[in-house]
Amino acid sequence: MSLDTQVLVVGAGPAGIAAAATAATHGRQVLLLDDNLAPGGQIWREATTVQQEDPDDVRRKTLLALRVSGARIFSGWRVFDAPRNGSLRAINDSGPEIHTIDISYEQLVLATGARERFLPFPGWTLPGVFGAGGLEALARGGFSVTGKRIVVAGTGPLLLPVAAHLRQMGGRVTTVAEQASRGQLARFSTFLSRQPGKLIEGLQYRAASGGSKYRPGCWPLAALGTDKIEGVRLTDGQRRWEEPCELLGCGFHLVPNTELASLLGCATRENAIEVDDVQQTSVSNVFAAGEPTGIAGLESALLTGTMAGLAAAGKLEEAKALLPRRQKFERFAERLKTAFALRPELLSLAEPDTIVCRCEDVTFEALKGYEDWNDAKRQTRCGMGPCQGRVCGPATEALFGWRASSVRPPLYPVPLSAMGAGPSRSSLDE
Amino acid sequence: MTDAFDVVVVGAGIAGCACARELTDAGVQVAVVEHDAPGGGATAAGMGHIVVMDDSPAQLALTHYARSLWQKLTSELPASVEYEERGTLWIAADHEEMTQVHTKHATCTGDGVRSEVLDAVALSEAEPRLRTGLAGALLVPDDAILYPPAAARYLLQAAQRAGARLIRGTVTRAGNGAVTLSDGTMLASDHIVIATGVEVSMFPWIRLKKRKGHLVITDRYPGFVRHQLVELGYLKSAHATTSDSVAFNVQPRMTGQLLIGSSRQYMQEDATADAGLVDRMLRRAYEYMPQLASLSATRVWTGFRAATSDKLPWIGPTHDPTLYMLAGFEGLGITMAPAAARLLADHLLARQSAIDPGPYLPERMARAETILV
Ligand SMILES: Cc1cc2nc3c(=O)[nH]c(=O)nc-3n(C[C@H](O)[C@H](O)[C@H](O)COP(=O)(O)OP(=O)(O)OC[C@H]3O[C@@H](n4cnc5c(N)ncnc54)[C@H](O)[C@@H]3O)c2cc1C
Ligand SMILES: Cc1cc2nc3c(=O)[nH]c(=O)nc-3n(C[C@H](O)[C@H](O)[C@H](O)COP(=O)(O)OP(=O)(O)OC[C@H]3O[C@@H](n4cnc5c(N)ncnc54)[C@H](O)[C@@H]3O)c2cc1C
């Protein structure tokens, strides 16, 4: 199957939704594509319908704008290759049959979001250990946390809202362990108080997470258990103690999803896609918005999405007019980075036999003595498994300073039958 | 200051690494210069099929000899090299190709290479996932597969343990007894070995063509394929000197992953994967093994083979008495490396070689192409 569109938006989180709605409202023919079953992205996970009584005003307005904009929505499609210039290939394997589609575009907006960073520590691969946002997403998807003792650990502004949501869903969140020090956090919240909206949001979550201890300057040393997690060993740098739990949600802030951008040849800097004043990447008809351009949260995703939508629709001046607001979020993103910077102790948690690459079972010890990521990958197969290094790449960057380099198709494992040139394939299946 | 070495090997691909190992074993003082990670060039792209090929008597002699050297190495190879004798199945699609099976069988037997003719039934027992209706195959049971970058690394480390030096840098000039690196470092040696794979632009008299290849690797499916599967038409593909060609070639790695090849293209400098060609290559594979289509692909990559005009490598001295060649292995460099390294070492150490080195001497380049020096 193949299809043409003027503007193609990949990723239907807040940024992609804003981009698609904006470009469509300005008369462009828009296709919005996402691998989840409905638009929403990480924060509004599959908020299937616009609900009049939706208590979340921003969500309701954003989804409504999308609905009336006339943008076409392709849910359940995942982009995995860029077989030709100006064309992406996506797969839909959510049903019993596998479909692929080639979509040609004039303008492309990359709004592929971010993912959690994992760091290896003893026991982190035990069943029952998840990412913090990942555990919340699982719970929202129906995985029961009711009555379970949960420790939330790691770093970043996500930990508190995650803990709050888990509690709302019946989990017994005993401790939220934030590795950033009290001092770092204090400086950050002083900054936040000049951003009232965010502060209030933060306090609400904090209130809801009441009942669990929020411990800054505290981090996990090991997940304990043999077949599944039974507890976690925590430390505040002075003391170490063990807390029993059935679930551990542990994530170390977010890293931008830049794989598709790299495949298309877009320049990146410090792991984020580089964009100009109107969200254009180094490739002239490719724009980027939201977390792939830097981790700055919901409002920033909406704003940069709008800018990218305007730019893709040729409204460059209007896009540029929003730049001062974007710069405010850029400062916020910088603050986030400093406030939640990883403490050095986290880089020595792994034991020699701690798995770093889960797909290929590569241990910390096995990764020592290589020159760079490519060398290590080649020799140990670290990062060569089905996740394509999405999990261990950011970890090895933190541990060894290696930067992921070349990206090879497919971006995600796909059936071989999806790899071919597409449209002319039918003869094969006879 | 200029460091001096008995031998300077330029390039730490499988060829350069095997050469360093071979020479340090003989007590020679060797430096290897490499600007990427060792084993990161064509060696990282290769399938690692250790295969006896009988395109010409000289090719047969070299690959057979090389395979026997790999076999001798097996006891010392670490597990990371994943050396495994699966045996090649040369698959005949029809009765016409079946006559080639018999010819190949005779050739193998003549050279002392074990092989066995399988009829259609025996073939489907040996490899149940092949489609039905194939005519048969020639099984060459001693052929093997290994993981090339780990093999290169192992050989280099063995050489380093025996005293070889690895020097990081880009060679910009080599010849007349000296090797110059881009940072200005000079190395002096009367024996400089060119083992730079396809990167030969600093030697304008070398006429090799880049031949691009694509490979696809799957997720793990242990037991899905048992042997190293190659269609007999592979020879036709490898022969074609002009157009793009594809052939069915599937190799099971020890990890359970399947490597699916192969393609050959001239006049391609761009390393990005060509979706159209990948499609052709995969279709060819499905013609032999339809179930492959349902497996999960994790990566596609490309690599460049260094093709010579007569399909034999260049091993030995050149017009510059201080320059030696160890290059031009096309699609067989992993297989040939230990034998090529041994022949070169024999030459440098004035030893008698186990096979006639004549067909691989670089001097034939001049004869073949009326260029040179
Ligand atoms: C696991 C997780 C949980 C989070 N939970 C919260 C939370 O509870 N509260 C909060 O304030 N913030 C949360 N965040 C932060 C959140 O990402 C931002 O606040 C904001 O939603 C970012 O919006 P975005 O549009 O940039 O990205 P996202 O919302 O991440 O949207 C990106 C979308 O692109 C899709 N996509 C990516 N690649 C492809 C592809 N190749 N093909 C097709 N589709 C693709 C993704 O599936 C996703 O739907 C979470 C982040 C993560 C990683
Ligand atoms: C797709 C594909 C599949 C293949 N499958 C097989 C197979 O199954 N079996 C088989 O036997 N063969 C196979 N081959 C062929 C095999 O990979 C090559 O013949 C072999 O790797 C060549 O090794 P080499 O050492 O000559 O070159 P390379 O591995 O390319 O090594 C050359 C080295 O020299 C370095 N270098 C170059 N220039 C400089 C410089 N100026 N200064 C410093 N260093 C330099 C490079 O960085 C590189 O590391 C395949 C090849 C391809 C492309």
* Count of domains forming chain B: 2
Q: Is residue B372 part of a domain?
A: no
Helical spans, DSSP H, in chain B: 14-25, 42-45, 57-73, 95-111, 120-126, 148-161, 234-239, 275-288, 333-348, 364-369
A358 three-class SS:
coil
Where does a domain end: B286, B307, B328? Answer: B307
Let me know whether B222 and B129 are in one domain: yes
Let me know whether B130 and B213 are in one domain: yes
Q: Is residue B176 part of a domain?
A: yes
Distance from the alpha carbon of residue B314 to the mean position of ligand 2, in angstroms? 14
Let me know whether B266 and B314 are in one domain: no
- pLDDT given at position B128: 97
Where does a domain end: B307, B325, B344? Answer: B307
Residues A226 and A127: their CA atoms lie apart, in Å, by 9
- pLDDT given at position A428: 31
Give the mean pLDDT of A286-295. Answer: 97
- pLDDT given at position B373: 34
Q: Which residues of chain A neighbour B150 with C-beta distances below 8 Å?
A: 379
Question: Looking at this predicted complex, what is its ipTM?
Answer: 0.82
Contact A102 CB / ligand 1 (< 6 Å): no
Per the CB < 8 A criterion, the answer to whether B195 and B16 are in contact is: yes
Distance from the alpha carbon of residue A158 to the mean position of ligand 2, in angstroms? 47
CA B23 to chain centre: 20
- pLDDT given at position A186: 82
Residue A426 has pLDDT above 50, yes or no: no
Angle (CA) A9 A405 A365, round 5°: 125
**pLDDT tens profile B294-313:** 999 999 999 999 999 999 99
Residue A209 has pLDDT above 60, yes or no: no
H or E segment to which residue B139 belongs? strand B136-140
CA A255 to chain centre: 6
Let me know whether B225 and B126 are in one domain: yes
CATH number of domain containing B178: 3.50.50.60
- pLDDT given at position B366: 75
Per the CB < 8 A criterion, the answer to whether A128 and A248 are in contact is: yes
Chain B residue closest in CA terms to A82: B275
Let me know whether B154 and B303 are in one domain: no
Let me know whether B226 and B265 are in one domain: yes
Residue B89 has pLDDT above 60, yes or no: yes
Q: Is residue B62 part of a domain?
A: no
Let me know whether B26 and B166 are in one domain: yes
Across the interface, whether the CB atoms of A419 and B40 are under 8 A apart is answered no
Let me know whether B203 and B213 are in one domain: no
| Nearest ligand atom owner, CA of B63 | 2
- pLDDT given at position B217: 95
| Cβ-proximal residues to B99 (8 Å cutoff; 6+ apart), any chain | none
pLDDT band, very low/low/confident/very high, at A427 (cuts 50, 70, 90): very low
Per the CB < 8 A criterion, the answer to whether A35 and A78 are in contact is: yes
Per the CB < 8 A criterion, the answer to whether B165 and B33 are in contact is: no
Q: Is residue B80 part of a domain?
A: no
Distances (CA, A) of B194 to A268, B14, B198, B324, B365: 36, 13, 11, 6, 15
Give the mean pLDDT of A118-135. Answer: 96
In chain B the first and final C-alpha atoms are separated, in Å, by: 30
Per the CB < 8 A criterion, the answer to whether B262 and B288 are in contact is: no
Residue A164 has pLDDT above 70, yes or no: yes
Residues A297 and B162: their CA atoms lie apart, in Å, by 56
Let me know whether B182 and B126 are in one domain: no
Structural domains in chain A, CATH included, are 2-115+255-336 (3.50.50.60), 118-252 (3.50.50.60), 346-424 (no CATH)
- Please say whether the dihedral angle defined by the alpha carbons of residues A112, A117, A120 and A121, taken in this order, is positive or negative: negative
Containing structural domain, residue B358 = 2-48+148-207+310-367
**pLDDT tens profile B242-285:** 678 999 999 999 989 999 999 999 888 888 888 889 999 999 99
pTM of the model: 0.89
Q: Is residue B73 part of a domain?
A: no
A377 three-class SS:
helix
- pLDDT given at position A422: 45
Q: Supply the residue whose CA is at minimum distance from atom 8 of ligand 1.
A: A43
Amino acid type, B165: R
Let me know whether B293 and B225 are in one domain: yes
* Summary mean pLDDT of chain A: 90
Q: Is residue B74 part of a domain?
A: no
Distances (CA, A) of A144 to A129, A158, B111, B237: 14, 20, 67, 56
Q: Which residues of chain A neighbour B293 with C-beta distances below 8 Å?
A: 415-417, 428
Indicate the burial class of A46 (C-beta count within 10 angstroms; 0-12, 13-18, 19 or more).
Answer: middle
CA contacts within 13 A on the Cβ side of A202: 17
Let me know whether B199 and B227 are in one domain: no
Residues A170 and B240: their CA atoms lie apart, in Å, by 67
- pLDDT given at position A424: 37
Q: Is residue B31 part of a domain?
A: yes
CATH number of domain containing B292: 3.30.9.10
Per the CB < 8 A criterion, the answer to whether A56 and A26 are in contact is: no
Let me know whether B276 and B343 are in one domain: no
Atom of ligand 1 nearest to the CA of A77: 43
Give the mean pLDDT of A213-221. Answer: 94
Where does a domain end: B307, B329, B344? Answer: B307
Q: Is residue B42 part of a domain?
A: yes
* Summary mean pLDDT of chain B: 94
pLDDT band, very low/low/confident/very high, at B237 (cuts 50, 70, 90): low
Distance from the alpha carbon of residue B200 to the mean position of ligand 2, in angstroms? 12
Residues B295 and B61: their CA atoms lie apart, in Å, by 37
